[in-house]
């Protein structure tokens, strides 16, 4: 099971900061698409594994003056979800469009979240961020074992790009990834993609209930666990 970081596992004390970061990230993505043809034309002149420059992302983190503890707070409901999943032996990964160095890795360490994840993929780890599938594909490869035909893969995020990335990654790996939308922004992406209403979570507590149902942690009239393949990721 894969998780987004900002807005999903951790929340910004000042929500406007997250909105600004997401806006700039979206602008960066749109700009990248505009120059895609030019980059393809020059690809033969550069290494395919060249690290992205990420000028906007790095500039943001250079000017911030607060520590992650001052900027962020963990979502305790999602922490409880991680505890339950770890107890069930589910392989977990975190996928973020934020920088890992100086931000994402610090946040995982500060809030004692790193212990839950077998894989943590941040923006500098891949050539393209979400909504491209690269980071989700990289996280699945980093879980420590090959995918099996009966694996069930969930990905939850709070932005439209999270939904798009999960669906795109499904095509890349040839294996269905079931995206879950957390909140209104991601819900728009879920509706556009014609996902099931059961995949739209308005609060972390909604997602916690879905996890409990999937593993039959609480009594259900129609346990979702009965319809799931044997191995859950």
How many percent of the chain have pLDDT more than 90?
64
pLDDT 10s digits, 14-51: 766 545 555 555 555 455 555 445 444 455 444 445 55
pLDDT 10s digits, 54-65: 555 555 555 455
**Mean pLDDT, rounded, for 58-80:** 79
pLDDT of residue 211 exceeding 70, the answer is yes
All structural domains of the chain, each given as residue ranges with its CATH number in brackets, are: 2-14+67-232 (3.40.50.1000)
CA distance 51 to 6: 23
pLDDT of residue 80 exceeding 60, the answer is yes
Per the DSSP assignment, residues forming a β-bridge with 201 are 182
**Mean pLDDT, rounded, for 126-139:** 96
Residue 17 or residue 100, greater confidence: 100
**CA angle, 207 then 116 then 29, to 5°:** 70
pLDDT of residue 83 exceeding 70, the answer is yes
pLDDT of residue 233 exceeding 90, the answer is no
Give the pLDDT band (50/70/90) at residue 231. low
CA distance 151 to 21: 33
pLDDT of residue 220 exceeding 50, the answer is no
CA distance 72 to 112: 13
In terms of pTM, does the model score above 0.85? no
CA distance 164 to 81: 23
pLDDT of residue 157 exceeding 90, the answer is yes
Provide CB contacts within 8 A for 207, sequence distance 6+: 77, 78, 81, 156, 180, 182, 201
CA distance 174 to 155: 16
Backbone φ, ψ for residue 74 (5° rounding): -75, 150
Closest CA to 187 of 206, 202, 174: 202
pLDDT of residue 14: 78
């Amino acid at each position: 099971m894969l998780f987004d970081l900002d807005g999903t596992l951790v929340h910004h004390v000042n929500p406007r900061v997250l909105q600004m970061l997401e806006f700039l990230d979206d602008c960066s993505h749109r700009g990248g698409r505009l120059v895609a043809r030019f980059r393809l034309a020059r690809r033969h002149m550069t290494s395919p594994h060249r690290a992205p420059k990420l000028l906007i992302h790095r500039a943001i983190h250079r000017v911030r003056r607060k520590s992650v503890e001052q900027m962020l707070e963990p979502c305790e409901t999602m922490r409880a979800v991680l505890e339950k999943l770890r107890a069930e032996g589910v392989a977990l990964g975190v996928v973020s469009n934020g920088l890992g160095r100086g931000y994402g890795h610090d946040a995982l360490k500060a809030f004692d979240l790193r212990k839950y994840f077998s894989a943590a993929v941040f923006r500098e780890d891949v050539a393209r961020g979400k909504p491209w599938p690269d980071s989700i594909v990289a996280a699945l490869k980093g879980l420590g074992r090959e995918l099996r035909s009966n694996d069930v893969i969930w990905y939850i995020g709070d932005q439209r790009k999270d939904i798009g990335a999960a669906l795109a990654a499904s095509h890349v790996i040839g294996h269905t990834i079931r995206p879950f939308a957390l909140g209104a922004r991601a819900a728009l992406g879920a509706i556009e993609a014609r996902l099931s209403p059961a995949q739209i979570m308005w609060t972390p507590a909604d997602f916690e209930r879905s996890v409990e149902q999937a593993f039959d942690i609480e009594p259900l009239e129609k346990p979702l666990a009965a319809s799931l393949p044997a191995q859950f990721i």
